[in-house]
Amino acid sequence: MGSAQGRSIRVPLVVGNWKMFKTSAEGAAFVHELIESIGPLGDREVMVAPPFTGLFEAVRAARGSRVSVAAQDVFWEREGAYTGEVSAEMLADLGVAAVIIGHSERRRDFQETDEWVAHKVRAVLDSGLLPIMCVGETADQREAGSTRDVLGSQVPTGLAEVRSENAALVTIAYEPVWAIGTGKTATPEMAQEAIAFVRGQVARTLGAEAGDAVRILYGGSVGPDNIDELMNQPDIDGVLVGGASLQLAPFSRIVHFEKQ
């Protein structure tokens, strides 16, 4: 797999997905506190993903700091008669650095498909932003033994429109749906196994170099108690954090993960 070799070039990434929480003032205040708490940590990247309404103030609060800002969704067209949608260019114009795409809540509640995910990943890359593409199996799929089938379909389909020169810019988040907001975390070994499989799918789809370069995050009930173990797995390059990213103390502890 070459993970150990690729590991040195994959800068660890911690992303807080605020989902539909925090006003823009609350978000900006949080970013200021987060910057203070991060201090001089230089070997990792930290992002927060506010709702659309909080992006402007969060970007302003993060300016010149080690924190950057991600959006939680995007539409793939540049502009047009698409009421309610926001384009990647508009996010770039605001100073947003990355976009979460295909989160399981969007797949489940808003019927997003792998094909939509592929269009969004392409649009985000074309605008010079970083896509964070989410994949993961449901409880039923895991129980049925089809985790690999699900990941083996979501990853190549979602990456289908990525051009090879952009491959290394892709980040993937493996979030088993049964672990999201449930307090049930995949064990570090389960997460490692699935993520190593995802890395293999990236290599198959975009080439071996991309397989080594692409950062793959784990998400699903990440907290202060499991962060260090997760980050010590060879293929886990970071985390996508929901609930525990809403308060400073747990999120700061996660950002300060310790890796041997």
User: Which residue numbers are catalytic?
Assistant: 103, 175
Specify the stretch interacting with ligand 13P by CB under 6 A; choose among 90-98, 198-206, 217-225, 247-255: 217-225
Q: Does 220 bind ligand 13P (CB under 6 A)?
A: yes
Residue found under tokens 């525990």: 244
Burial class (CB in 10 A: 0-12, 13-18, 19+), 222: buried
Q: At 244, is the secondary structure helix, strand, or coil?
A: helix
| Choices 2-10, 33-41, 56-64, 241-249; region in contact with ligand 13P by CB under 6 A | 241-249
Measured at the CA of 31, the angle between CA 53 and CA 175, to 5 degrees, comes to: 75
Q: Which residues pair with 49 in a beta bridge?
A: 17
Q: Which residue has tokens 């979030």? A: 175
The contact mask relative to ligand 13P for 72-111 (x = CB under 6 A, - = no) is -------------------------------x--------
C-beta of residue 174 within 8 angstroms of C-beta of residue 201: no
User: CB of residue 163 vs ligand 13P: minimum separation in angstroms?
Assistant: 26
Structure tokens at 64: 């010149």
| DSSP-derived secondary structure letter, 75 | B
Is residue 240 part of the contact set for ligand 13P (CB under 6 A)? yes
Judged by CB under 6 A, which of 24, 154, 221, 226 binds ligand 13P?
221
Stretch that binds ligand 13P, among 29-37, 192-200, 209-217, 236-244 (CB under 6 A): 236-244
User: For ligand 13P, how many residues bind (rule: CB under 6 A)?
Assistant: 14
Angle at 245 between CA 243 and CA 246, to 5 degrees: 75
Query: Which residues touch 107 (CB under 8 Å, ≥6 apart)?
Result: 113
Q: Which amino acid makes up residue 174? A: Y
- State the burial class of residue 110 (Cβ atoms within 10 Å of its Cβ: 0-12, 13-18, 19+): exposed
Residue choice 51, 219, 238, 250 for contact with ligand 13P (CB under 6 A) = 219
Q: Is 243 in the site for ligand 13P (CB under 6 A)?
A: yes
Binding mask 176-195 for ligand 13P (x = CB under 6 A): ----xx--------------
Cα–Cα distance for residue pair 161/177, rounded to 1 Å: 25
- Window 27 to 66, contacts with ligand 13P (CB under 6 A): none
Contact region with ligand 13P (CB under 6 A), list: 38-46, 81-89, 199-207, 234-242: 234-242
Angstrom distance (rounded) from CA 230 to CA 104: 21
137 binds ligand 13P (CB under 6 A): no
Does position 131 interact with ligand 13P (CB under 6 A)? The reply is: no
Closest approach of ligand 13P to the CB of residue 14, in Å: 12
- In the complex, the residues that contact ligand 13P under the rule CB under 6 A are 17, 103, 175, 180-181, 219-222, 240-244
